[in-house]
Structure 1
Amino acid sequence: MRRLIYSMNTTLDGYVATRDGDIGWGVPGPELHQWFNDRARDISVSLYGRRLWEVMSAHWPTADRQPDVSPVEAEFARIWQRTPKVVFSSTLSEVSGNARLCTGDAVSEIARLKAEDGGPMEIGGAGLAGAAMRAGLVDEYQVLTHPVLVGSGTPFFTPLDSRVHLRLVATRTFPGGVTLSHYEAGH
């Protein structure tokens, strides 16, 4: 059985994007970007909601070929390109690259993928992750908190139906004041 990890950048006040969709406050420095790269190497499947897919697929398919790309960004682009992805959307008609589209019941498909043998999966997009959380499918939370307040926007945690008990696994502080809080769900 695969483990499912929910990991995204968030503001100190708990948002993954501002009201107008801006995520520019979460641009990682080199050390944090290297952490993302190291983590991404272990991911066997990435699960995306539509909005996050649109952001990621607009940049990473060609990021390693841009003239001003840093070595750490080029490395992430290559890892991202080869990682299989499932995009959950009822409005998209197609996806490109190493991705497939799922227009049906997201929770059922995530549960099916999770039941397979293989390495860990990551889930991104607050709405999609919220559905997986409510279904009890998320095993780990990797919360990367940036020292910025944006006041409103898309929350990292969507409303839940019941309490989820977590166990702190690790914390780490990166340059610029970004903190990682890594939790496991207490099943």
Structure 2
Amino acid sequence: MTIIKKVSEYCTDLLTTTKCKELPFHNLQHTKEVVQNVKYLCAAMDICEQDTEVLIIATWFHDTGFSITYKGHEDESKMIATTYLKLQKANQDFIDKVCNCIDATKMPQCPTTALAEVLCDADIFHISNSHFFYRKLLLRREWEGFCNNKVNDFEWHKLNLEFLKKHHFRTTFGEDILEVGNQENIDKVKRILDYY
């Protein structure tokens, strides 16, 4: 069995048997979507097989820390990844690259390597397409239930508009292609706000 297959099975188990399964947004479905986004970006950007493997593995682990804590889950995700990858006899350089990618997904995103930039764009890919409106509903439910963060509709749309306007994609693919969809979503949220 390949390392990616082992990791995907291990993380799927974590995301479906711990409190992750109760999260409306940061759950197995989100992780699977981000894995697909990573594969898509790696193919579009002609990223080599070894780096693609690092990215796919980092993606599977990036939200597993929610099984332990909500705030600061990325540090827990890195611990879970490190422990598991050591058991699989992965070398330290490989583990470091995986952890660097996971670390970069903290908000606000601060990637320090080209690989981490790819995971950052994959993690936030949904803001560039029509999934954004569905995903943000799920995130709102999650914040209400797990962060005690309740806001009215107007405030929520304003928050989303600010997030979309402040966000910038990290890869050239993100800047050239994904940003177009982000701008379309900015216009849609502005139109929603016009009705308040």
Larger radius of gyration: 2
Which structure has more relative contact order (CA 8 Å, sep 6+)? It is: 1
TM-score normalised per structure 1: 0.30
Structure showing the higher helix proportion among its residues: 2
TM-score normalised per structure 2: 0.29
Structure showing the higher strand proportion among its residues: 1
